Amino acid sequence: MPLNLQGIQMNTFSVKELLSPDHLHQEVVVNGWVKTYRSNRFIALNDGSTINNIQCVVDFEEFDENLLKQINTGAALKISGTLVESQGKGQSVEIQVKEIMVHGGADPEAYPIQPKKHSLEFLREKAHLRVRTNTFAAIMRVRSALSFAVHQYFQKNGFFYVHTPIITGSDAEGAGEMFRVSTLDNKKPPLTEDGEIDYKEDFFGKETNLTVSGQLEAETYAMGLGKVYTFGPTFRAENSNTSRHLAEFWMIEPEVAFNDLDANMDLAEDFIKEVINYALENCMEDLQFLEQRLLDEEKSKPQAERSEMPLIEKLKFVSDNTFKRVTYTEAIDILRNSKPNKKKQFKYLIDEWGADLQSEHERFLVEKHFKCPVILFDYPAKIKAFYMRLNEDGKTVRAMDILFPGIGEIVGGSQREERLDILLEKIKALGIDEKELWWYLDLRKFGTAVHSGFGLGFERLVLFATGMGNIRDVIPFPRTPQNAEF
Near a copy of itself in 77-116, by CB under 8 A: 78, 103-107, 110-111, 113
Q: Does 35 bind a copy of itself (CB under 8 A)?
A: no
Of the candidates 136, 323, 386, 404, which one interacts with a copy of itself according to CB under 8 A? 136
Which of 44, 58, 50 is CA-nearest to residue 15? 50
Do 412 and 363 meet the contact criterion of CB atoms below 8 Å apart?
A: no
Least distance between a copy of itself and beta carbon 253 (Å): 13
Q: By C-beta, is 55 or 211 nearer to a copy of itself?
A: 211
Q: Which stretch binds a copy of itself (CB under 8 A): 231-239, 290-298, 303-311, 355-363?
A: 231-239
Least distance between a copy of itself and beta carbon 169 (Å): 4
Q: Does 354 bind a copy of itself (CB under 8 A)?
A: no
Least distance between a copy of itself and beta carbon 386 (Å): 18
Which of 370, 310, 308, 363 is CA-nearest to residue 340? 363
Of the candidates 44, 56, 71, 74, which one interacts with a copy of itself according to CB under 8 A? 74
Please state at what angle helix 134-156 crosses helix 284-298, rounded to 10 degrees.
Answer: 130
Beta-carbon contacts of 486 under 8 Å, excluding residues fewer than 6 positions away, are 127, 128, 477
Q: Does 28 bind a copy of itself (CB under 8 A)?
A: no
Q: Which stretch binds a copy of itself (CB under 8 A): 60-68, 92-100, 220-228, 299-307?
A: 220-228
Q: Does 10 bind a copy of itself (CB under 8 A)?
A: no
Q: Does 263 bind a copy of itself (CB under 8 A)?
A: yes
Please return the burial class of 153, using the count of CB atoms within 10 Å of its CB with bins 0-12, 13-18 and 19+. buried
Q: Which stretch binds a copy of itself (CB under 8 A): 58-66, 224-232, 355-363, 372-380?
A: 224-232
Of the candidates 24, 57, 237, 295, which one interacts with a copy of itself according to CB under 8 A? 237
Of the candidates 44, 58, 257, 374, which one interacts with a copy of itself according to CB under 8 A? 257
Task: For the segment 426-445, give every residue that binds a copy of itself (CB under 8 A).
Answer: 439-440, 442-445
Going 247 to 252 to 257 to 259, the CA torsion angle's sign is negative
Beta-carbon contacts of 38 under 8 Å, excluding residues fewer than 6 positions away, are none
Half-sphere exposure of residue 362: CA atoms within 13 angstroms, side-chain side:
21
Angstrom CA distances, 392 to 378, 386, 396, 398, stand at 11, 16, 8, 10
Q: Which stretch binds a copy of itself (CB under 8 A): 126-134, 348-356, 386-394, 425-433?
A: 126-134
Q: Which helix (H) or strand (E) holds 328?
A: helix 328-336
Q: Which stretch binds a copy of itself (CB under 8 A): 56-64, 260-268, 290-298, 426-434?
A: 260-268
Of the candidates 189, 310, 340, 469, which one interacts with a copy of itself according to CB under 8 A? 189
Of the candidates 224, 337, 339, 348, which one interacts with a copy of itself according to CB under 8 A? 224
CA atoms of 56 and 41, how far apart (whole Å) = 8
CA atoms of 270 and 397, how far apart (whole Å) = 23
Long-range contacts of residues 22-27, Cβ cutoff 8 Å, at least 24 apart: 23/83, 24/83, 24/84, 24/85, 24/93, 25/82, 25/83, 25/84, 26/82, 26/83, 27/80, 27/81, 27/82
Going 316 to 152 to 175 to 216, the CA torsion angle's sign is negative
Least distance between a copy of itself and beta carbon 375 (Å): 16
Angstrom CA distances, 390 to 92, 344, 384, 448, stand at 62, 33, 11, 16
Q: What is the amino acid identity at position 71?
A: I
Query: How many residues would you count in the chain?
Result: 486
Of the candidates 38, 89, 116, 187, which one interacts with a copy of itself according to CB under 8 A? 187
Q: Does 278 bind a copy of itself (CB under 8 A)?
A: no
Q: Which stretch binds a copy of itself (CB under 8 A): 219-227, 296-304, 325-333, 423-431?
A: 219-227
Q: By C-beta, is 221 or 364 nearer to a copy of itself?
A: 221
The beta-strand segments (E) located in 47-92 are: 54-57, 76-85
Q: Which helix (H) or strand (E) holds 93?
A: strand 93-104
Q: By C-beta, is 185 or 305 nearer to a copy of itself?
A: 185
Of the candidates 66, 87, 186, 300, which one interacts with a copy of itself according to CB under 8 A? 186
Of the candidates 155, 242, 243, 321, which one interacts with a copy of itself according to CB under 8 A? 155
Q: Does 122 bind a copy of itself (CB under 8 A)?
A: no
Of the candidates 25, 41, 69, 206, which one interacts with a copy of itself according to CB under 8 A? 206
